[in-house]
Structure 1
Amino acid sequence: MRALRILLVLLVVVGALFVAADRLALHFAESEAEDRVRISGGSAGTTEISIKGFPFLTQLAASEFDRVDVTLKDMKTEAAGRAIRVGEVRAQLHDVKLGSGYSSATAARATGTAVVSYADLTAAAEDGVTVAYGGDGKVKVTGTVEILGRPISRSVVSTVTRADAHTIKVRADEVPGEGIPGVEQLVRTKTDFEGDIDGLPKGLELQKVQVTESGLEIALDGSDVSLTG
């Protein structure tokens, strides 16, 4: 009986050591991965990597992970030639395979969300244009134009849509023209716009845009998503 107890204790100790080694290796790998993530056409203030699944070491040995969560914060990129800040990008990557020497990683499929605040949209817009929440899933865009030498400011309620896999489009539902020819088109040159959200991990594309009180929430989806390069 004593020998059996000793054996059980040894098994517990070995198991605990394996778990500790596994978690230590996981922490080290996540830190290394955070330093290696590259964003095409953009940069991120901070990158967080969370590798799911247990044990980690067996997944590493196979160079394949069931799921990896990536969070990019304070991402800076461009839209329509203007700098734009994307507050946060969260992505869940599935079936992630490591490249030779662990220098690259590609996910078979991925989903996620990008968040852009109205303050950041305003900062990226043309001079004299502000963007705010308009209620009922709409945005309010205010622009200032010059008519007959006088500056005129107009606010419109606009719809935000996905134009394509990388582009969002903002268009006013209606522009009060006040009976003056050309006023509507002139105001639209300020209030209507579209822009590409570049800098996302390669393979990740825009699927849907939702207008919320705090900003735009952009649903992301993709396949063969690259974490580096």
Structure 2
Amino acid sequence: MAEDYPADGARPRRRGRKLLVGLIVLLLVVGGLLVVADRVAVGVAERTIADRVGQEIAKQGAQAARPDVEVAGTPFLTQVLDGRYQRITINLRDVRASVEGDAVQLPVLDVTARNVRAALDTLRTGQGDIVADTVNGAGTISYDSLAALLKRPGLKLGEQNGKLAVTAPVDILGQKLTVAGTADVTVADNGAVALRFNDLDAAGLPNLPLARALLNNYAKGISVDVPLPDLPFQLTVREVRPLPEGLAVTVDAKNVPINSVG
């Protein structure tokens, strides 16, 4: 009579291999479900943040396209349990805000919050602070909206060799001329954009002291500190640079409660 199992034990080994393969498949399935759950949780968090930011922007009397939010770092659920998030990026487009009744357009405003602290109970109840150690941002202000703040008919701004360039029609001693030149652009102590037009000229300007004095007075009249709208997340302007697409602004803040962006 033949033995039920070969002497070399081949069948138990095959059964062991099947169990091992089954365990690996199970781990892969469970791991896949955890990844899916993690990504679903990220999506929910990103939509929630986008909704909240949109609401706060509206409260400030501004308008913008729906924010595009990205919560970085994996796994996300581990960050939730730890109450600390590596990076949250908020991209705003077509921002329109009001300064003294005039609209300022920011085609782009990108904000990154780093090392964000938010307790799980805060997320669950909505009570408590969500604080970012640092918030950095970069955006552009359209030249058309910046020129409108200067309230000079026909004045146009743009970029020329890395400087802010201006052209404008003027009437000097009865002659209609076109003023052209560049300005120094800095950040004023009050956070406004300081424009200083020190290099203006006009083709055909009469060679008279009075004509030159009138041109200088025009330059002084448009050399002003242009206030910017209140920025979200308590952001403060640190640098301004003329670019072809607009006036680029660099902003930052520290220890910011980002669950109240205004």
State the TM-score, normalizing by the size of structure 2.
0.77
| Alignment size in residue pairs | 228
2:18 paired residue number: 2
For 2:168 and 2:132, the matched residues in 1 are separated by 42
Alignment root-mean-square deviation, CA: 2.5
Q: After the TM superposition, which of the residue ranges 217-226 and 78-87 deviates more from structure 2?
A: 78-87
Per-residue CA shift, 1:118-143, capped at 9, x if unaligned? 2332344414122122x222112233
Per-residue CA shift, 1:128-164, capped at 9, x if unaligned? 122122x222112233445567655422211211113
1:35 paired residue number: 51
Task: Compare the two structures and name the one with the higher helix fraction.
Answer: 2
For 2:61 and 2:190, the matched residues in 1 are separated by 16
For 1:41 and 1:109, the matched residues in 2 are separated by 25
- Give, in angstroms, the shift of residue 203 of structure 1: 2.6
Q: 1:98-109 alignment to 2 at 5 Å?
A: 98=118, 100=122, 101-102=125-126, 105-109=130-134
Q: Which runs of 5+ in 2 are unaligned?
A: 1-16
- Give, in angstroms, the shift of residue 185 of structure 1: 4.3
1:172 paired residue number: 197
The SS at the match of 1:174 is strand
Larger relative contact order, structure 1 or 2 (CA cutoff 8 Å, min sep 6):
1
**2:149, 2:226 within 8 Å by CA — same for their partners in 1?**
no
2:255 paired residue number: 224
Which letter does structure 1 place at the counterpart of 2:199? E
- For the structure 1 residues 149 and 45, does the alpha-carbon distance in structure 2 shift closer, same or farther, using more than 3 Å as the test? farther
For 2:108 and 2:257, the matched residues in 1 are separated by 18
2:29 paired residue number: 13
Instruction: Report the identity percentage.
Output: 27
For 1:155 and 1:46, the matched residues in 2 are separated by 39
For 2:175 and 2:68, the matched residues in 1 are separated by 50
**1:53, 1:66 within 8 Å by CA — same for their partners in 2?**
yes
Task: Compare the two structures and name the one with the higher strand fraction.
Answer: 1
The structure 2 residue matched to 1:130, chosen from 145, 152, 156, is: 156
**1:141, 1:191 within 8 Å by CA — same for their partners in 2?**
no
1:45 paired residue number: 65
2:182 paired residue number: 157
- For the structure 1 residues 114 and 23, does the alpha-carbon distance in structure 2 shift closer, same or farther, using more than 3 Å as the test? same
For 1:80 and 1:141, the matched residues in 2 are separated by 23
**2:183, 2:195 within 8 Å by CA — same for their partners in 1?**
yes
Q: Which runs of 5+ in 1 are unaligned?
A: none
The SS at the match of 1:199 is coil
For 1:48 and 1:153, the matched residues in 2 are separated by 43
For 1:5 and 1:165, the matched residues in 2 are separated by 67
